[in-house]
Amino acid sequence: MAEHTLPLEGLRVIELGTLLAGPFSGRLLADFGAEVIKVEPPGKADPMRNWGKSKDGVGLWWPIQSRNKKSITLNLREEKGQNLLKELVKEADIVIENFRPGTMEKWNLSYETLSEINPRLIMVRTSGFGQTGPYKDRAGFGSVGEAMGGLRNVTGFKDRPPSRIGVSVGDTLTALFATIGCLVAVHERTKSGKGQVVDTALYESVFSIMESLIPDYMLAGYIRERMGNILPGVAPSNIYFTLDKTYIVIGANADGVFKRLCEAMGQPELSEDPRFATHHARGENMKLLDSLIEEWTKSLNAKDALQILEEKGVPSGLIYTAKEILEDPHYKEREMIINVEHPELGDFPMPGVVPKLSRTPGKVKEPGAERMGKHNEEIYIQLLGLQEEQLRELENENIV
């Protein structure tokens, strides 16, 4: 049976960013069929090639972050390189960049300049603080966005300094918003025929998920603080120790679910206890309630406790490491761990495509290009029509 057409086939994306936020947007678009052309300066690889753990000298993050992308080299600091990018822009739908604001303008590659060449061009711009405002010229990493967006202050335990989440959540959140904005602009272009700028900022992307942080303060005089494993006023929703010395997560703060939890614990009367009978009462008596639940979980191995909770329809689960993820049959059934052939490492495991589409799902065809400029000839000769001797000359001049 012939393979289905991927939903973003026909879109050509030029990815100019490095590290995380911009390239993660490129990865998401490439997963669903967009032709993403990853640009690196000749002789200066994207640091992501070497970040994280490695095996046999090969970085293990790069094959995931740059999967499905084509790799070319191009020196945007030189006029010849800028002119080549302009030729690429004529053939492109989208440019992704995550440099500090003003960098593209300094290279004579502003949106105004590029949109004159291709009025349908969409430019996705990601930076620490956005393209306007008093902070626009500041350098900004995901960590700063997480801090100034409000996330770091509510992460960790109250008696300890603000903590970070164990992944680069500021960057990936921004990439998600950038991708949404990009696809919104693509849809709008079908009506107007015109491109536009998608302006995403790290701090804004983090701030946008901070729930009622602002009205909590402005209307109720409450500043959210670090609360460890709980949410203020929401109980029970915590981690609980078990007989075999592990932790499980239980979330049973809704009235009906809490009643089922009490039945699972063999203490149905707790759901009628005035201290726990309502959402507000459970929030007020959170510590006592959590201690009662943990008395029960500590009498059982995690597997047995989770089986009882599942039978009663109480949301619960283990706290997974990579080991548990790989052993979980649900991950396997949902194709969330896939294997892609890597030219140096062979069978390479990586996360599957999210979200799942019923008719035209995304696909990972290949890992990130192991060699910079692997697709130079395909792009410069086949797409732009350069002669081979012209390409060799550009290589000698360190333009590509």
Residue pair 220/233 in contact by the 8 Å Cβ criterion: no
Q: What is the domain-level CATH number for residue 183?
A: 3.40.50.10540
Q: Is there a single domain that holds both residue 25 and residue 82? A: yes
Is 70 exceeded by the pLDDT of residue 2? no
Is residue 293 assigned to a domain? yes
pLDDT-derived band at 232 (thresholds 50, 70, 90) equals: confident
Is residue 230 assigned to a domain? no
Q: Is there a single domain that holds both residue 177 and residue 269? A: no
Q: Is there a single domain that holds both residue 177 and residue 253? A: no
Q: Is there a single domain that holds both residue 38 and residue 130? A: yes
Cα 126 to chain centroid, rounded: 13
Over residues 110-135, the mean pLDDT reads: 98
How far apart are alpha carbons 306 and 304 in whole angstroms? 5
How far apart are alpha carbons 18 and 291 in whole angstroms? 47
How far apart are alpha carbons 247 and 110 in whole angstroms? 52
Number of domains in the chain: 2
Tens digits of per-residue pLDDT, 168-208? 999 999 999 999 999 999 999 999 999 999 999 999 999 99
Q: Is there a single domain that holds both residue 339 and residue 301? A: no
Q: Is there a single domain that holds both residue 293 and residue 339? A: no
DSSP string covering 190-225? HHH----EEEEEHHHHHHTT-TTHHHHHHHH-----
DSSP string covering 241-284? E-TTS-EEEEE--SHHHHHHHHHHTT-GGGGGSTTTSSHHHHHH
pLDDT of residue 143: 94
Is residue 258 assigned to a domain? yes
Q: Is there a single domain that holds both residue 93 and residue 162? A: yes
How far apart are alpha carbons 207 and 111 in whole angstroms? 26
Residue reference for tokens 């049976």: 1
- H/E run at residue 169: helix 169-192
**Domain membership of residue 258 as a residue range:** 237-241+247-318
Choosing from 270, 293, 318, the residue where a domain stops is 318
Torsional class of 194: left (φ above 0), alpha (ψ -120 to 50), beta (otherwise):
beta
Residue reference for tokens 């969409």: 122
**69 token code pair:** 């992308």
pLDDT-derived band at 1 (thresholds 50, 70, 90) equals: very low
How far apart are alpha carbons 162 and 144 in whole angstroms? 13
- 303 to 22, 67, 76, 185, 329: CA distances (angstroms): 41, 37, 56, 48, 15
Q: What is the domain-level CATH number for residue 312?
A: 3.30.1540.10
Q: Is there a single domain that holds both residue 165 and residue 286? A: no
Is 80 exceeded by the pLDDT of residue 212? yes
Choosing from 293, 318, 343, the residue where a domain stops is 318
Tens digits of per-residue pLDDT, 304-345? 999 999 999 999 999 999 999 999 999 999 999 999 999 999
Q: Is there a single domain that holds both residue 341 and residue 314? A: no
Average pLDDT of every residue of the chain: 96
CB atoms under 10 Å from CB of 37, counted, come to 25
Over residues 209-229, the mean pLDDT reads: 95
pLDDT of residue 231: 87
pLDDT-derived band at 62 (thresholds 50, 70, 90) equals: very high
Choosing from 266, 290, 318, the residue where a domain stops is 318
- H/E run at residue 174: helix 169-192
Catalytic residues: 171
- 306 to 94, 264, 302: CA distances (angstroms): 47, 10, 6
Q: Give SS3 for 286.
A: helix
DSSP string covering 53-101? -EETTEESSHHHHTTT-EEEE--TTSHHHHHHHHHHHHT-SEEEE-SPT
Q: Is there a single domain that holds both residue 32 and residue 89? A: yes
Instruction: Report whether the peptide linkage leading into residue 274 is cis, meaning its omega lies within 30 degrees of zero.
Output: no
Is residue 115 assigned to a domain? yes
Q: Is there a single domain that holds both residue 272 and residue 378? A: no
Is 50 exceeded by the pLDDT of residue 57? yes
Is residue 309 assigned to a domain? yes
pLDDT of residue 308: 98
How far apart are alpha carbons 122 and 94 in whole angstroms? 5
Which is it for strands 12-15 and 346-351: parallel, antiparallel or unpaired?
A: unpaired
